[in-house]
Structures are given as structure tokens and as C-alpha cells.
Amino acid sequence: MSIRHGLLALLERGQMYGYQLRAAFEESTGSTWPLNIGQVYTTLARLERDGLVRSLPESEAGQRPYEITDAGRADLTLWFATPISRADRPRDELSIKLALALTTPGVDVRAVVQTQRSATMRALQELTRLKYASDKPEDLPWRLVLDAMLFQAEAEVRWLDHCETSLVRYRPAPGRPTGHPEAVDRTDEAARR
């Protein structure tokens, strides 16, 4: 649903053809999620089928611009007016992974948490670097997208720490022992940082 409405929003600024739409989309969102061109065309075809856009005659240079229709404008207005609910977001793979790790025999949950934490911390640094060492400091849309990722990564690190803390007191369900009984907690908990 994301791209569908994204293209509609871009077309609200004026007529554009596929290649332009991809460039505009990536520019608006800071090239964080590259948009593949094939999907632009298939999405445009679906939008036209649904009456939300209208394709215009191909130009002499072989470009086929599209324009938004009234129905498309209505759809777009609705999109902007409707908040995105938790329910219609994709499953969070990380929390599923952690939840399942807890009940899967032979998995060192703390290792999983720590590996993820390192990766997320690295991502955090890279994002911070991008934020300050960039050539487009004036670009508010881009900065907000970047900030969203920063906020999310920070929350993830906090959650991972929270998981680690919770784990200390966790008595695994019947199965093989984990190799780190709770008597050890103070030692390596303090040593790791």
C-alpha cells in the first residue's frame, strides 16, 4: 500500500512518467529504500486499472506520463487523513525471533540478543554519521525519514537491553539447560561493558 499511495502523492504535484516517479520517490525518502523500477510500472498499471490515475499519450521521446484522477485525489486525501494503525504493519521479525529463541532447544538467547545489539549499534552510528556528514542538511523530508530510523534503532537497542535484563531471571522451560545458571548473573553482566 505504501508505494501505491506514494506514487499518487507524487502525481498530485503534477504529471510524471515512471522513471521520474522513481527518482522523485527516492529523493523524497532519502534513497533509504531504493524503489525498483519494475514495480513502478506494475503499480501504475494497477492504479490505472482502478481509475486512480490516467495515462497520457506517449511523448515523442517515448515517455508515458500519468496524471492523477479525481478518484485518485480522493484516495490520497483519505490516506493522509487516516492514521496508520499497529495492526496493518508487517510482523516484526526481530521480536518473533527472540520470542521463539526462548522456547527453542539449543539456542543461546543471550548470544542472539548481543549479536543483534552490536548490529543495531553499528546501524545507529552509520545513521548518525549520515545525518551530520551529508550534503543535504536543508532537506526536511529526508531528515525526518532519517530521524525515524534513528528513533527506531534507539528503541531497538533499549528493548534489547531490556530483554537481556529480563533474561537474567528467566528459568527456561523443561528442556536442556542453557549453560548459564542464574548464579553467574552478576559476574558477566558487569564484565561485558
Partner DNA sequence: CGACACATGTAACACGTTACATGATTTG
Partner DNA sequence: CAAATCATGTAACGTGTTACATGTGTCG
CB closer to its own copies, 62 vs 82:
82
Helix/strand/coil for 103: helix
Give me the 144-163 binding string for its own copies, x by CB under 8 A, dash otherwise. Answer: xx-xxx-xxxxxx-xx--xx
Please choose which of DNA, its own copies, none residue 166 contacts, taking the beta carbon within 5 to 8 angstroms, the exact cut-off set by kind. Answer: its own copies
CA dihedral sign of residues 20, 68, 52, 148? positive
Could you tell me which of 101, 117, 8, 87 has the C-alpha nearest to residue 52? 8
**Residue 116 touches its own copies, criterion: CB under 8 A:** yes
Helix/strand/coil for 67: strand
| Residues making up the chain, counted from first to last | 193
CB closer to DNA, 38 vs 172:
38
Could you tell me which of 16, 21, 19 has the C-alpha nearest to residue 3? 21
**Residue 91 touches DNA, criterion: CB under 7 A:** yes
- CA dist., res. 29 & res. 6, Å (int): 10
Contacts of 75 (CB under 8 A, 6+ apart): 5, 8, 52
CB closer to DNA, 44 vs 98:
44
CB closer to its own copies, 23 vs 101:
101
CA dihedral sign of residues 82, 87, 90, 95? positive
**Residue 25 touches DNA, criterion: CB under 7 A:** no
Chain residues 55-94 in contact with its own copies, contact rule CB under 8 A:
76, 79-86, 89-94
Query: Which phi and psi (to 5°) does residue 16 adopt?
Result: -155, 155
Could you tell me which of 52, 61, 63, 60 has the C-alpha nearest to residue 10? 52
**Residue 51 touches its own copies, criterion: CB under 8 A:** no
Shortest CB 19 distance to its own copies, Å? 18
The residues of the shown chain that bind its own copies, judged by CB under 8 A, are: 1-3, 5-6, 9-10, 12-13, 28-30, 33, 76, 79-86, 89-107, 111-112, 115-116, 118-120, 123, 140-145, 147-149, 151-156, 158-159, 162-163, 166, 170
The residues of the shown chain that bind DNA, judged by CB under 7 A, are: 1-4, 17-20, 33, 35-39, 41-46, 61-65, 90-91
